Structure 1
């Protein structure tokens, strides 16, 4: 049975288009909704030309959380890439959220780090992030740094879902 296709749309706080692509709706579990992209899938940042991704990946859109997560297939050097976002919203075959700049990344060698703090600081001023957005984003980043580093659930679940699109 073929998978249903969904639109994945990240925006910036001013509403401008950020990363967007089509993905396969793989299913749901206690962690949220999982989508996937087969090798050779493509997506675009804003209105730039499409980028083709050579490896498969799956994405987790958790319920009521200020983040999303990408689990990359080998040989990608980034194993997990978490975007700090507003809570993902599902409507009419599309999931949308606002990218809040901060990223928690785990490389294949096990290193975990927080990226783009400078962009987060810059955009707090440019987009006038309200205090609750700033505090929610920082809390999500702190939680993810710990959870991703210790491979707490769901950060060991990606390979099972990856098998569906690899």
Structure 2
């Protein structure tokens, strides 16, 4: 099965390049657009050297939501990693969004936590996040903490999309 390649590009609020990589466009469902990366594929943070991923994963880019989610194949210790971001925008084979620092993480052992609150506080001052960005980021993090803890869709178990890259 061949898949279209898309560029996944996260930026910081000042426009600087953050994490970016190529992914396979897997498809869409009621939750949004899904992409996947095979074990051994790589990405880069900004202009740093590429980092190879030891595991396969899929990413969900929801429509009209202030977050993205990665679902990692076992045995990765991180099962789900949600980035709080601006609403993902698709244009010419690329999905872009601004990483707003906060991360909702579920470890494979079931622990769930909100990460990088200190970075969010630092960056909201440094980048002068507008009040609506701050409010949307905090509200999205709170909703995701509840949804991930409750095993609400799409966070209940590994999505079937993972079978496309494992």
Shorter chain as normaliser: what TM range? over 0.9
Write the distance in 2 (CA, Å) between the matches of 1:29 and 1:158: 15
Q: How does 1:43-122 map to 2 (within 5 A)?
A: 43-122=43-122
Equivalent residue, structure 1, for 2:124: 124
Equivalent residue, structure 2, for 1:152: 152
Aligned-partner SS, 2:161:
helix
Equivalent residue, structure 2, for 1:140: 140
Equivalent residue, structure 1, for 2:26: 26
Aligned-partner SS, 1:142:
helix
Aligned-partner SS, 2:159:
helix
Cα deviation code 1:130-157 (max 9, x no counterpart): 0000000000000000001111011126
Write the distance in 1 (CA, Å) between the matches of 2:67 and 2:158: 16
Consecutive unaligned residues in structure 2, runs of 5 or more: none
Write the distance in 1 (CA, Å) between the matches of 2:10 and 2:105: 18
Write the distance in 1 (CA, Å) between the matches of 2:65 and 2:157: 17
Deviation at 1:126, TM superposition (A): 0.2
Number of matched pairs: 166
Consecutive unaligned residues in structure 1, runs of 5 or more: none
TM-score (normalizing by structure 1): 0.99
Deviation at 1:62, TM superposition (A): 0.1
Write the distance in 2 (CA, Å) between the matches of 1:26 and 1:158: 15
Write the distance in 2 (CA, Å) between the matches of 1:94 and 1:151: 29
Q: After TM superposition, which residue ranges in structure 1, 4 or more long, deviate above 4 angstroms?
A: none
Equivalent residue, structure 1, for 2:163: 163
TM-score (normalizing by structure 2): 0.99
Aligned-partner SS, 1:122:
helix
Write the distance in 2 (CA, Å) between the matches of 1:41 and 1:124: 32
CA contact (8 A) 1:58 1:158 kept: no
